[in-house]
């Protein structure tokens, strides 16, 4: 087996390495959390403008259609350059690919470019206090009233919820069907009335994870991703993207000497 890079892969690596040499910002040295978030958003915007955000996405949606090897090279070069981590990683690695696979054209037009540029930060509203490994047991309810769903319930261990603009949210919309059959996926605007976020402080002092509470939150039916009551298939698509993209990216982006105690940490 030949493990050497092909000429095309070497060209990809050299192009990205040269770009990083010019564009990687100086390491963050401030103390303000808000300024740090702005710093990370500027970095993702720089990647976007250089054509290096969402490289695995199809070209028609702003990506590069990168191969698996090119994606591995991309992550390795980011780590070698000690580049800042991507604050929009959930959107880039999980939400965006799921939207591309299952979203309507209007949903794609509304969100994809903003996910790439870092204008929209996303969180993932799946886990609940009584629905972690058994995700299909989730109990957050969404009852339809006309052209809206009214959402009530709670999510937990929600990374980036404290700064997120949107949430990929799983809710129960059918209470009579088997548990896998009555779930719907919503694209939830985190600025809607009735949403509250409470950070979970770890023993280390970090508070990158959060609890999110929903009290009569009204979400337009047009914000359903996929089909009503068929959200389990949407969830599986999202989780497959999470396994393929998100975990590897976080692992490689933080070298062992500088990796934070939690991949969701916002210092």
Residue 175 class from Cβ within 10 Å (0-12 exposed, 13-18 middle, 19+ buried)? exposed
**For residue 258, is pLDDT > 70?**
no
How confident is the model over 92-127, as pLDDT tens digits?
Answer: 999 999 999 999 999 999 999 999 999 999 999 999
Q: What is the pLDDT of residue 252?
A: 43
- Upper half-sphere CA count for residue 172 (Cβ side, 13 Å): 21
Task: Give the per-residue pLDDT at 265.
Answer: 36
Q: For tokens 């403008």, what's the residue?
A: 49
H/E/C letters for each residue in 124-143? Answer: EECCECCECCCHHHCCCEEE
Reading the block at residue 107, the tokens are 């949903």
Please choose, from the candidates 65, 63, 51, the residue with its C-alpha nearest in 3D space to the C-alpha of residue 16. 51
Residue 240, both tokens: 């497959």
Residue 3 CA to residue 94 CA, distance in Å, equals 29
Per-residue pLDDT of 18-34, as tens digits, reads 999 999 999 999 889 99
Which is nearest to 98 in space by CA: 235, 200, 259, 250? 235
Indicate whether 205 pLDDT > 80: no
Element (H, E) at 105: helix 105-117
Share of the chain above pLDDT 70, in %: 90
Catalytic residues: 242
Digit-coded pLDDT (tens) for 242-252? 766 555 554 44
Domains and CATH numbers, the chain: 7-119+240-253 (1.10.540.10), 122-229 (2.40.110.10)
Contact 155, 141 (CB under 8 A): no
Token readout for 130 is 């009584």
């Amino acid at each position: 087996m030949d493990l050497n890079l092909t000429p095309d892969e070497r060209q990809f690596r050299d192009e990205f390495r040269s770009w990083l040499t010019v564009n990687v910002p100086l390491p963050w040295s401030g103390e303000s959390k808000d300024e740090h978030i702005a710093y990370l958003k500027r970095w993702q915007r720089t990647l976007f403008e250089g054509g290096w955000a969402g490289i695995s996405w199809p070209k028609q949606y702003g990506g590069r259609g990168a191969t698996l090897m090119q994606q591995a090279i991309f992550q390795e070069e980011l780590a070698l350059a000690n580049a800042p981590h991507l604050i929009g990683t959930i959107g880039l690695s999980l939400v965006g690919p799921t939207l591309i696979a299952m979203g309507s054209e209007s949903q794609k037009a509304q969100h994809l470019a903003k996910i790439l540029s870092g204008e929209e930060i996303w969180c993932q509203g799946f886990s609940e206090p009584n629905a972690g490994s058994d995700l299909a047991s989730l109990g957050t309810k969404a009852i339809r009233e006309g052209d809206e769903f009214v959402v009530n319930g709670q999510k937990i261990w929600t990374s980036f919820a404290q700064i997120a603009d949107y949430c990929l949210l799983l809710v129960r919309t059918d209470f009579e069907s088997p548990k896998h059959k009555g779930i719907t996926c919503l694209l939830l605007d985190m600025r809607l009335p009735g949403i509250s976020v409470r950070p979970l402080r770890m023993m280390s002092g970090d508070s990158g994870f959060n609890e999110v509470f929903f009290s009569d939150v009204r979400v337009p039916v047009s914000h359903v991703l996929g089909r009503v009551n068929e959200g389990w298939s949407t969830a599986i698509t999202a989780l497959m993207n999470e396994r393929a993209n998100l975990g590897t990216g976080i692992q490689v982006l933080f070298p062992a000497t500088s990796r934070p105690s939690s991949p969701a940490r916002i210092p």
